[in-house]
A and B are shown apart, each in its own frame.
Chain A
């Protein structure tokens, strides 16, 4: 039996390549979310305790992030989503509006190379407030007075994280806070009959949305205790069916049989997504589920889907925030990630045999770090960064509040 191991040096090399060389043209389809790629790169190097960046490079990166800041508050996904500064003014601010996820990733990235003082806090928080709908949900941008984007849990989580980073709950400069009760009500309404969370209770439960809902509640201090005990009866807990949610989360684990893998997306190789026919007799006998010491356990994001690297993080992190991470046996998951999706050039692929990509390479590390991987920094599942970086962000956020420039930006302009 080979011993499952994370190859730290190889991962550092992979991420340094992502940082220092041009991403291939194929990444053009991620141009609109380029800021998130930047955050994954900087944070991965942090989790891996890679050598620090030269200060000239830090300055360049900081300047690039700030050049994506929108004059009306918030950030754009890449310079391609923004006009050169000279074009703004006289009502043109809405030509290419700021984007909510891009704003979170910009602020998080800035935490690695700069300070929060450089952010237009008041404008950003006012803009954030303008993204919230009456039903409590958030859109991703506002354009000509219209809130655009889905109502899913991702934007809820992102909005609350931005509020946390900028200390939006502290009342200064008469910025009105977002409507927390409406937001929690929206999250409560997104819980599905089978215990997961979706964009609404009428859609299919999804591990990514479940994570976003739980992380959002965690930042708001609105997670119920897993035993069901209520601490404060005045406040409605954010999850309506905690035991159902735990059952749904642990059910995302599935045993992976290496030998009969093939590349067909929903094909054999996975116990629970094996059958595309209707005959019961094509099911594996239940006894074949018996445990063995070389077992690989992956995670899927929805019932009866195939295992995918990123869902290891979304599920394990969700359980960790609820305080029940030990319900997952770490070794079989480590084996799945380190032996099957870890790539020989570093990084992780989506599924066994896939080439690495930035998104799955980051979430593979995040999953291992959440379970306490020795070679990685201690990890904060809620913000999906190292504990050390979370502490740094808290300090930067507090420091910035004492800076006149940061808190009074709108009055000076």
Chain B
């Protein structure tokens, strides 16, 4: 006898079984518990029942299949229908999230919870601050086990927009992550978002790859210095080189403003002084922009022959493009 079949609390429900049929595709050896629980869920959903036993049932199904998208949605509508305390639900979600790091549905669910909670506290700065603190604290816990978890970063961006966290403490927490791992590209990307999408000065709708006249000069200088310091720390790290290019483009500044800096890491006259393939790439683009195609060509040739041979085809293609221009 199944768990629900023998439970008096479920006596009144007639489960709706589903049959896979003969010769189904990608048949899974479902556990009996899963098949039974799904039968009861179908019956509950068909009856549009929202009750505390629905919450128990969804916990059980989620424990077996956390990627079940409709069970999460049904749980959310039950929570809202019952006025189940959001804080209590968030605590449960925290546990599930820590056990299922790769799961997306949990984060969508969490977003629904915050969206539901928000109107009730939106005029209370203390409550908002408290929520921001507890959410950030939990995300920090998630980042302790995987600081590049894509779903968690997506949720972080939602939170920043929802609670307007374009602030110094957000920048500080990114810097803490980069201190542990300067190659954490997720943290670099989040920094770009915080700095260049801040509604206080960023032009609304400005593309990430476009010049934005709204960005203050002092801020650009600060970001340029930040990426340079990271490059000094680890010259062969792609992330800050990409970031530096991104900052210059946002600020409408030519690459040539950083020629001295990039040359610290690559001198084409003395090949043994190349410390970073990304510096050579940067210089090649810079010289191309400045019309010094011979120097650009030499940098690209060095990349293909010696400093980045796994991308030789690409560097040769860039050389061809130089000559065609």
Q: Do A and B bind each other?
A: yes
A residues at B contact (CB < 8 Å): 18-19, 22-25, 27-35, 37-38, 41-42, 56-57, 60-61, 63-65, 67, 79-84, 87, 92, 95-97, 99, 109, 140-141, 143, 148-150, 188-189, 191-195, 198-206, 227, 240-241, 244, 246-247, 250-251, 253-255, 265-266, 272-273, 275-280, 283-284, 286, 289-291, 295, 297, 302-305, 324, 326-329, 332, 358
User: Can you report 11 A-B residue pairs in the complex whose CB atoms are below 8 A from each other?
Assistant: A23-B28, A81-B70, A141-B70, A143-B73, A148-B69, A150-B104, A150-B154, A201-B207, A275-B234, A278-B180, A304-B237
A241 touches B209 (CB 8 A): yes
A27→B27 CA distance, assembly (Å): 9
How many angstroms between the C-alpha atoms of A109 and B26 in the bound complex? 12
Residues of B within 8 A of A (CB): 16-31, 34, 38, 42, 45-46, 64-70, 73, 104, 108, 146, 148, 150, 153-154, 157, 179-186, 188-190, 192-193, 196-197, 207-210, 232-239, 242-243, 245-246, 249-250, 274-277, 281, 306-314, 317, 321
Contact A31 B46, CB 8 Å, known A25-B30, A57-B23, A206-B150: no
Task: Kindly provide the distance from the CB of A262 to the nearest chain B CB, expressed in whole angstroms.
Answer: 17
Best-buried of A193, A283, A358 by chain B (most CB within 10 Å): A193
Shortest C-beta distance, B22 to chain A (Å), equals 6
Contacts of B146 in A (CB 8 A): 265
Give CA–CA (A89, B235) in the complex, Å.
Answer: 64
User: Is B276's CB under 8 angstroms from A276's CB?
Assistant: no
Which one of A240, A253, A280, A302 contacts B185 once the chains associate, using CB atoms below 8 Å? A302
A272–B276 alpha-carbon span in the complex (Å): 12
Q: Please state if A31 and B73 are interface contacts (CB–CB under 8 Å).
A: no
Q: Which of A64, A191, A254 contacts B20 (CB 8 A)?
A: A64
* A30–B67 touching, CB < 8 Å: yes
Q: List, in ascending order, chain A residues with CB within 8 A of B321's CB.
A: 227
Kindly provide the distance from the CB of B149 to the nearest chain A CB, expressed in whole angstroms.
11
Given A87-B16, A329-B310: A28 touches B31 (CB 8 Å cut-off):
yes
Q: Contact: A291 with B309, CB < 8 Å? A: yes
Asked whether B308 lies within 8 Å of A289 as measured between CB atoms, the reply is yes
The contact of B23 among A61, A148, A247, by CB within 8 Å, is A61
Which residue among B150, B192, B208, B313 has the maximum number of chain A CB atoms within 10 Å of its CB? B208
List the 6 closest pairs (A to B, CB-CB), nearest first. Answer: A60-B23, A193-B246, A38-B25, A201-B208, A204-B189, A291-B309
B16 touches which of A31, A83, A189 (Cβ 8 Å): A83
- Distance in angstroms from A252 CB to nearest chain B CB is 10
Shortest CB-to-CB span from B308 to chain A, Å, is 6
Nearest CB of chain B from residue A140's CB, rounded to whole Å:
7
Which listed residue, A23, A192, A241, A283, touches B27 by the CB 8 Å rule? Answer: A23
